[in-house]
């Protein structure tokens, strides 16, 4: 089996935590031929997708690897391509998904499905499932956003294209710095942002990252808690994590989302859940697999590859 990952350069990753490395390691354990390429390596010519692919062997610990000399290869040579490029989902990212459409049409299993990555913004997609998310507003109108805060008194404001807790602001009932936050995030009222009612369960139950494979949840999640004086629980923002079992409510949320995720071929998804609500549906490069696997012994990356192998065989 030949597999390639579209991802960030290996030397930019955290070897102790990166999920893409876990996937490459799991593929190497299966004696697959593995490679990776970046956005800069990807191109199309005469209706065919190509990339300058670097062969790589990742050790079982997923912390060390050996790279070989890169070469230009038609992507149609691969059985499976995983899209693991971190946001932002900008025009360069958009064009990459369109090039990967070409590989998919030539019979390559591309996961997650490129078209669905375009259609399923990690924050805006919540609007399709109002029954699972907290009160949410998406707007660039600062008057409307301010009125939402006045209604709910404690609100989280965030951009639609960031990751890792970047540019997320919690404005409590005092409203400190509300105007400058809205002006900055909306770029003076010219850019849509998201506002969500603040969920007071965060300090107690954390912001849980639940991994779904083909709509089915892994039975353990990583609950992330904010550090003292912070309202962001993201690990990249200084939060800390604790592995927990998922709850019946978590399972219900996953079952509600499952048919839609399966229909869109969103095979590997990370839900962010606070209390009873889903706050984000991460589809570009969900992480936290390494932390959950280390605590539980679950082979989440291997389970994902097993699913893709079965799917590839079925097609």
Could you give the residue numbers annotated as active site?
Answer: 123, 158, 209, 224, 232, 272, 280, 282
Q: CA-CA distance, 132 to 129, in Å (whole number)? A: 6
Q: The tokens of 9 are what?
A: 């350069």
Q: CA-CA distance, 283 to 76, in Å (whole number)? A: 23
Instruction: Give the 3-state secondary structure of residue 119.
Output: helix
Q: The tokens of 301 are what?
A: 């990356």
* Region for residue 255 given its phi and psi (left: phi exceeds 0; alpha: psi -120 to 50; beta: otherwise): alpha
Of 281, 177, 172, whose CA–CA distance to 231 is shortest? 172
Residue 40: CB atoms within 10 A of its CB come to 10
Q: Say if strands 48-58 and 33-37 run parallel, antiparallel, or are unpaired.
A: antiparallel
Instruction: Give the 3-state secondary structure of residue 286.
Output: coil
E strands within the chain? 2-6, 33-37, 42-45, 48-58, 65-67, 71-74, 80-83, 109-111, 136-139, 155-159, 169-171, 193-197, 207-213, 216-217, 220-225, 240-245, 268-274, 277-282
């Amino acid at each position: 089996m030949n597999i390639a990952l579209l991802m960030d350069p290996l030397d930019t990753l955290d070897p102790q935590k990166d999920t893409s490395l876990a996937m490459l390691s799991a593929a190497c354990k299966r004696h697959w031929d593995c490679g990776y390429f970046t956005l800069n390596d990807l191109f199309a010519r005469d209706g065919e997708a190509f990339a300058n692919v670097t062969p790589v062997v990742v050790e079982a610990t997923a912390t060390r690897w050996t790279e070989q000399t890169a070469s230009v290869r038609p992507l149609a040579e691969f059985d499976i391509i995983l899209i693991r490029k971190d946001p932002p989902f900008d025009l360069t990212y958009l064009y990459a998904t369109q090039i990967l459409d070409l590989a998919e049409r030539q019979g390559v299993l591309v996961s997650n499905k490129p078209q669905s990555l375009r259609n399923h913004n990690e924050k805006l997609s919540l609007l399709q499932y109002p029954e699972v998310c907290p009160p949410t507003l998406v707007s660039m109108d600062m008057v409307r956003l301010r009125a939402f805060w006045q209604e709910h008194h404690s609100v989280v404001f965030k951009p639609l294209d960031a990751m890792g807790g970047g540019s997320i602001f919690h404005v409590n009932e005092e409203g400190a710095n509300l105007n400058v936050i809205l002006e900055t995030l909306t770029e003076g009222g010219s850019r849509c942002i998201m506002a969500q009612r603040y969920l007071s369960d965060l300090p107690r139950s954390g912001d849980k990252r639940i991994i779904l494979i083909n709509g089915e949840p892994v039975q353990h999640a990583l609950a992330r808690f904010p550090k003292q004086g912070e309202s962001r629980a993201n690990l990249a923002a200084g939060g800390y994590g604790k592995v927990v079992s998922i709850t019946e409510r978590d399972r219900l949320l996953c079952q509600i989302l499952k048919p839609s995720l399966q229909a869109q071929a969103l095979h590997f998804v990370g839900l962010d859940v606070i209390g009873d609500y889903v706050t984000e549906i991460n589809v570009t490069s969900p992480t936290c697999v390494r932390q959950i696997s280390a605590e539980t012994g679950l082979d989440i990356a291997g389970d994902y590859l097993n699913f893709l192998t079965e799917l590839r065989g079925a097609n």
